[in-house]
Amino acid sequence: MKERLEALKSDALAELAGVNDAQALGDIRVKYLGKKGALTEILRGMGALSAEERPVIGQVANDVRGAIEAVIEEKQEAFQRAETEKRLAKETIDVTLPGRRLPEGGLHPLTKVIQDLEDIFVGMGYQVAEGPEVEMDYYNFEALNLPKNHPARDMQDSFYITEDILMRTHTSPVQVRTMQAMQGESPVKVIVPGKVYRRDDDDATHSFQFHQVEGIVVGKNIRMSDLKGTLLQFVREMFGAHTEIRLRPSFFPFTEPSVEVDVTCIKCGGAGCRLCKQTGWIEILGAGMVHPNVLEMGGYDPKEYSGFAFGMGVERIAMLKYGVDDIRHFYNSDLSFLKQFARL
Ligand SMILES: [Zn+2]
């Protein structure tokens, strides 16, 4: 019986040596060590042994089982290790590969310029105010020192809805609304971005609808030099640190004195080119000291308070900043045009 057990052991080990997958390993375990396996078969003969032989054979049988199990276990571990390594090799990813770029949108250039303007003026302590686009004649004209039949009303041909209501022709009515809302308290310090409407024929530089940003400051001892310093700071942040400004006398009904403001040509830096008509300067906005009549209608005593105001066309700023030659590009939603600004 002992010989049969030894023979079983060497058979099993020989067979195990040739095994190279987990399935075959399981089959061998059943064949030799299972309930109906070869070892059980041999041990069935134990009953016929003498009382002295039984523990001896029992010990041999345990050793045989242990030896076979040890080899099976060892092989199983090796198979598992190999399997894991195979899987890791298959699932390896190259973390240095560049990712796939997702399609992304961008801000419209006019939105970007308005946001830049807001950032610059908020940085100087301004608040951003808004007002209605459908406006009363009173706020759009009368309270800005433009009474009915004033000749300057012709400068801004308007879309009237009724005799007293129109599409606002500038963002200036928000000046009056803001001053009135402050009820004579100072300081007023706001900028007003928004859409405005004029009965213009569309061409390369005109549109019946465009954007303005208006600014107004009202307080005590506000002077022309404050206006100049503010505008210089603004153009340097918008167009670059070397930009200079030039103020030329002008006329607006709502400011006195009034100025038109030029900046150093963005294209040639002042040397003279086609864009600036060889002058080195480009006009970008109108400004002035708030007219005493406007202060008064806004609820401020012009003997005690003074202020300055300025207004500019957002499209004009954007055209100069980005070198766009036709205002209509901003409105016709041409993606090949708009995509140029997505990463600026
Ligand atoms: Zn130039």
Residue 12 has pLDDT above 60, yes or no: yes
What is the greatest pairwise CA distance in the chain?
137
Contact 319, 331 (CB under 8 A): no
Residue 9 has pLDDT above 70, yes or no: yes
Give the helix, strand, coil percentages of the chain, each rounded to 5. Answer: 45, 20, 35
- The span from the first CA to the last CA of the chain, in angstroms, equals 91
Q: What's the average model confidence in pLDDT over 70-79?
A: 88
Contact 219, 193 (CB under 8 A): no
Question: What does the pLDDT look like over 220-264, one tens digit per residue?
Answer: 999 999 999 999 999 999 999 999 999 999 999 999 999 999 999
Report pLDDT for 310.
Answer: 97
Q: What is the mean pLDDT of the chain?
A: 90
DSSP alpha helix (H) spans, 1-146:
2-17, 22-33, 38-43, 53-91, 109-123, 137-140
Residue 51 has pLDDT above 90, yes or no: no
Report pLDDT for 8.
Answer: 82
Q: What's the average model confidence in pLDDT over 210-225?
A: 96
Distance 231 CA to ligand 1 centre (A): 20
Residues 152 and 235: their CA atoms lie apart, in Å, by 28
Residue 196 has pLDDT above 90, yes or no: yes
Q: What's the average model confidence in pLDDT over 24-44?
A: 84
Distance 268 CA to ligand 1 centre (A): 4
Distance 281 CA to ligand 1 centre (A): 7
Distance 187 CA to ligand 1 centre (A): 38
Most confident of 4-18, 173-187, 277-291: 277-291
Spatial strand order of the sheet with 127-128 comes to: 127-128, 188-197, 209-219, 306-313, 281-290, 255-264, 245-252
Contact 253, 291 (CB under 8 A): yes
The residues facing 308 across adjacent strands are: 217, 289
Distance 238 CA to ligand 1 centre (A): 17
- Residue that the structure tokens 């005493």 belong to: 292
Contact 267, 256 (CB under 8 A): no
Report pLDDT for 99.
Answer: 86
Distance 154 CA to ligand 1 centre (A): 32
Question: What does the pLDDT look like over 142-165, one tens digit per residue?
Answer: 999 988 888 777 656 889 999 899
Distance 259 CA to ligand 1 centre (A): 21
Distance 317 CA to ligand 1 centre (A): 15
Beta strands in 108-228 (DSSP E): 127-128, 134-136, 165-167, 188-197, 209-219
Distance 50 CA to ligand 1 centre (A): 120
Question: What does the pLDDT look like over 87-134, one tens digit per residue?
Answer: 998 988 888 988 888 888 889 999 999 999 999 999 999 999 999 999
Bigger pLDDT: 68 vs 168: 168
- The answer for residues whose C-beta is within 8 angstroms of residue 129's C-beta and 6 or more apart is 174, 177, 178, 190, 191, 192
Distance 267 CA to ligand 1 centre (A): 5
Q: What's the average model confidence in pLDDT over 171-188?
A: 90
Question: What does the pLDDT look like over 258-316, one tens digit per residue?
Answer: 999 999 999 899 999 998 999 999 999 999 999 999 999 999 999 999 999 999 999 99
Distance 282 CA to ligand 1 centre (A): 8
Distances (CA, A) of 269 to 44, 316, 330: 108, 18, 25
Length of the chain equals 344
Distance 262 CA to ligand 1 centre (A): 12
State pTM to two decimals: 0.69
Distance 319 CA to ligand 1 centre (A): 14
Distance 322 CA to ligand 1 centre (A): 14
Distance 273 CA to ligand 1 centre (A): 4
Distance 250 CA to ligand 1 centre (A): 22
Q: What percent of the chain has pLDDT over 70?
A: 99
Q: Which two tokens stand for residue 262?
A: 């030029």
